[in-house]
């Protein structure tokens, strides 16, 4: 069959060129889709981490308001060394004078913080878990350190404050220490770095703030009243 006049097929070069353009366009679209999926996943993880971290800190602050003691134990609930502060503990007593404690322990491998309830002679019982958490640390400082610029709990507002440090050992089997020590908890996740300061509900809070005025204010004086003129009444 004869080819009609004016018609021709695609040359090999044209076919190869079209294939190359299609391959490049496909690669670009795949790359864009991959980046969009990665960005969506990163944002989702960030939102999850932010929610977990803020919920955890809210719970810690709420627990400290009812606890008799907030402290960083020497050993965690699993019996491991807690010098890195991966666990913070709370202590209280119920209406029947039964003493109990609970802890928040960070597992770096699992990227989670788990709440444990325990008491003397009773094995720790795990509860709610917060994840994903990348880092968690707790450090306890004397209340007097709040005015020390080198302290982790330093607050410029109390730079001239005179705060006495008080500690009370409740004599529990799990080493609960009360008083007015302040525990700083730091939580890091998905690029978010948050911290809070915790003190027990029974912490003595009396302190004196010394304020220095520069220059000192002039004393207030009461002006001497001017006597009124005498009035003369007559006919």
What would the pLDDT profile of 132-186 be if each residue is shown by its tens digit?
A: 999 999 999 988 888 888 888 888 877 777 777 888 888 888 889 888 899 999 9
pLDDT band, residue 25 (cuts 50/70/90):
confident
Region class of 111: left (phi > 0), else alpha (psi between -120 and 50), else beta = left
Contact 56, 113 (CB under 8 A): yes
Residue bearing the bigger pLDDT, 170 or 213: 170
Distance of CA 141 to the CA centre of its chain: 16
Q: Which residues pair with 71 in a beta bridge?
A: 89
User: Which has the closest alpha carbon to 137: 109, 167, 113, 165?
Assistant: 113
Predicted local confidence at residue 84, as pLDDT: 96
Phi, psi (5° rounding) for residue 215?
Answer: -75, 165
The Cα 13–Cα 17 span in angstroms is 6
pLDDT band, residue 234 (cuts 50/70/90):
low
Work out the end-to-end distance of the chain between its first and last CA atoms, rounded to an integer number of angstroms: 149
Predicted local confidence at residue 208, as pLDDT: 47
The Cα 198–Cα 180 span in angstroms is 10
The arithmetic mean of pLDDT across residues 101-111, rounded, is 97
pLDDT tens for 41-95 read: 665 666 777 889 999 999 999 999 999 999 999 999 999 999 999 999 999 988 8
The Cα 192–Cα 235 span in angstroms is 92
């Amino acid at each position: 069959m004869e080819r009609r006049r004016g018609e021709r097929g695609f040359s090999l070069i044209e076919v190869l060129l079209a294939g190359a353009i299609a391959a490049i366009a496909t690669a670009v679209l795949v790359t864009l889709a991959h980046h969009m999926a990665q960005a969506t996943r990163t944002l989702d993880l960030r939102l999850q981490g932010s929610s977990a971290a803020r919920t955890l800190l809210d719970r810690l602050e709420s627990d400290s308001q009812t606890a008799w003691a907030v402290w960083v134990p020497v050993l965690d609930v699993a019996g491991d060394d807690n010098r890195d502060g991966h666990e913070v503990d709370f202590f209280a007593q119920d209406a029947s004078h039964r003493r109990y404690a609970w802890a928040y322990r960070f597992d770096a491998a699992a990227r989670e913080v788990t709440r444990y309830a325990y008491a003397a002679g009773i094995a720790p019982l795990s509860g709610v878990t917060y994840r994903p958490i990348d880092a968690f640390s707790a450090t306890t400082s004397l209340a007097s350190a709040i005015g020390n610029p080198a302290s982790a709990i330093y607050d410029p507002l109390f730079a001239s404050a005179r705060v006495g440090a008080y500690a009370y050992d409740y004599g529990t089997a799990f080493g609960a220490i009360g008083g007015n020590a302040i525990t700083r908890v730091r939580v890091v996740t998905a690029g978010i770095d948050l911290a809070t300061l915790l003190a027990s509900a029974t912490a003595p809070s009396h302190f004196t703030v010394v304020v220095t005025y520069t220059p000192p204010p002039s004393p207030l004086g009461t002006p001497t009243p001017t006597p009124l003129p005498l009035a003369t009444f007559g006919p």
